[in-house]
Amino acid sequence: MPAEFHILPEHNLVYVQYSGLMLVEDSLKAFGAYARHPDARPGQRHLIDLSRITDMERDFARVMQLQATKGADLAMRETETLMVYFANTPVSFKAAALAKNGWSASQGVIAIVQETEEAALSALGLAATSIEAMLSAVLRQTR
């Protein structure tokens, strides 16, 4: 699946991972599924992992439409949302910069881009050294 998410309530975190060609339609579907998920909560931090994308949709009007849709939903929550984009390749960095610049403080979103997993996790206040280690630890706790 090109876009998937996992809600980690114990970390107040939503982990979103993209792979392959990053399409607006996939983002809309994933965000809609997240918004309807019973564990979705206002103020959850988001870690958006773009490290596995190979390219991105270049319809910038649709990208801005996506940001507006997500922004409208997040603004209704009346609490700030921290979005940390993990981007470690030229194409993922371009996608992260486009996404980051699509947010405004008036939407209640604080968006930053980090180039290493460790920096992304640290920005979220998480002690894990890698995303895989964090996810593995959560899976061990739920068994």
Is residue 143 predicted with pLDDT exceeding 70?
Answer: no
Long-range contacts of 34-43 (CB under 8 A, 24+ apart): 34/5, 34/7, 35/73, 37/7, 39/7, 39/9, 40/7, 40/14, 41/9, 41/12, 42/77, 42/78, 42/79, 42/81, 43/12, 43/77, 43/79, 43/80, 43/81
Q: Which residue has the tokens 């699946």?
A: 1
Residue 25: per-residue pLDDT:
83
* Residue-range domain boundaries for the chain: 3-142
Q: What are the tens digits of pLDDT across the range 96-140?
A: 998 888 777 667 788 999 999 999 999 999 988 899 999 888 777
Residue 46: per-residue pLDDT:
95
Contact yes or no for 93/122 (Cβ under 8 A): no
The fold adopted by the segment(s) 3-142 is: Transcription Regulator spoIIAA (3.30.750)
Residue 8: per-residue pLDDT:
93
Q: Is 102 helix (H, G, I), strand (E, B) or coil?
A: coil
Residue 42 DSSP one-character state: T
Residue 6: per-residue pLDDT:
92
Q: What are the tens digits of pLDDT across the range 42-64?
A: 889 999 999 999 999 877 676 66
Mean residue pLDDT of the chain comes to 85
